[in-house]
Structure 1
Amino acid sequence: MKHLKVMVLVLTIAAVLLWTVNIDVLAVRLGEDMIYAIRMNEEKSFSIRWTHSVEKEEWEEFFQFEGENINLDSTRFKTFGAGVPNNAGTNSFIRDGWVYMVNINRYVGDELTVRSGKTTGHRLIYQRQMFPLPYQQNSYVICRERIPFASYLFHTISKNM
């Protein structure tokens, strides 16, 4: 009986800790639903990659968290098209068939809204892992959040079932 009480006490303490210890996640929401809760570490950058709907070429924008705020750091694309600035940032160059524009440093805010298309194949990339953002009627919202570790575990387990 004494062992049972000790085990119940240990499990209770563990449960409380799981709900009181918060972690940083790169959150992707669709409305109120959290689509992805990606555990963040020291890496503060991520990118959004897609196929341009007109040019049919790959585009990628690189973002950096500065605290809770998101800044557009750089972009790369295969070809110039309508609406593409001829210069952005402090430097532009071509490497491996990509046109790069770097050091853009454009403040986005504490959320990045992404609208995916039916044929654009949007995806978020964090630490070389790709997270698809398939076409939806509503926009995705990407931000940094602090959530209880228990919520993160629940989300991760439920998404992998």
Structure 2
Amino acid sequence: MGTTSAPNVRRSAGAGAARRPRTAALAWAGAALTAALLLPVWPALRISDGGDTMGYLDLAEGEPLTISYVHSIDHLPIEENLVVRDGRLVVDSTRLRQFGAGMGQIPGEGTGRADGEWWVVENMGRDIGTELTIRVGAPAVDHRIRTPGAEVRLSPCLAAHRVHVRPVRLPTLLLPFSGVPAPEC
């Protein structure tokens, strides 16, 4: 009986080399995809209580951010309107019902005008830096953070806490987990 032997197969040096560029291309593509998912590109606001991140709010450069509350002395509402410019928070305008302690127009900063029941100071351009710290008032003060897509009520759960608001950029990978901050009561 005869035996059958496997044909002698030889690979040329070129065959292995042909696979290496394809493997390298896949590795580069995987690295590029990973970098794209981890690269911080999406603008947002990080809301934190002390050092603990509570969550994020979508906020593109130039979109309005409002901090609203009720003045502790005259018990009337106040709205501070800010925007993010070059990664910094800038107070754009203030709306208030009447001048109270520490409120009103500062000479040379913006222009004031009446708007129905409100007094509005516009075009303030007051740069307050890369982070805003809010000392949250009692529930009657009703501190809130509002963006075009969300509102977060701070006073019911965080009275007397220091809440930090900071413009950040989020990686795509974090977007599904960056929901609206919900303070725990």
Q: Which TM class, normalised by the smaller chain length?
A: 0.7 to 0.9
Q: Which residue number in structure 1 is paired with residue 49 of structure 2?
A: 30
| Moved beyond 4 Å, runs of 4+ | none
Q: Which residue number in structure 2 is paired with residue 127 of structure 1?
A: 148
TM-score with structure 1 setting the length: 0.78
**Partner secondary structure for residue 179 of structure 2:** helix
Q: Is the 8 A contact 2:57 2:150 kept in 1?
A: no
Q: Is the 8 A contact 1:69 1:109 kept in 2?
A: yes
Name the CA shift for 1:65/1:127 in 2 (closer, same or farther; >3 Å): same
Q: Is the 8 A contact 1:43 1:127 kept in 2?
A: no
Alignment of 1:3-42 (within 5 A): 16=34, 19-22=37-40, 23-41=42-60
Name the CA shift for 1:86/1:21 in 2 (closer, same or farther; >3 Å): closer
**Partner secondary structure for residue 156 of structure 1:** coil
Q: Distance in 2 between matches of 1:80 and 1:156?
A: 36
* Root mean square deviation of aligned Cα: 2.6
Query: Please, which of 70, 79, 83 is the counterpart of residue 98 of structure 2?
Result: 79
- 1:17 CA drift (Å): 6.3
The answer to whether structure 1 residue 51 and structure 2 residue 60 are counterparts is no
Alignment of 1:62-73 (within 5 A): 62-73=81-92
Unaligned runs of 5+ in 2: 1-29
- 1:47 CA drift (Å): 1.0
- 1:115 CA drift (Å): 1.0
Query: Please, which of 122, 142, 148 is the counterpart of residue 165 of structure 2?
Result: 142
Q: Is the 8 A contact 2:137 2:160 kept in 1?
A: no
Q: Distance in 2 between matches of 1:130 and 1:157?
A: 8
What's the % identity of the aligned pairs?
A: 22
Name the CA shift for 1:154/1:78 in 2 (closer, same or farther; >3 Å): same
Q: Aligned AA for 1:38?
A: L
Q: Which residue number in structure 1 is paired with residue 113 of structure 2?
A: 93
TM-score with structure 2 setting the length: 0.69
Unaligned runs of 5+ in 1: 1-12
Q: Which has the larger radius of gyration?
A: 2
Q: Which residue number in structure 2 is paired with residue 155 of structure 1?
A: 178
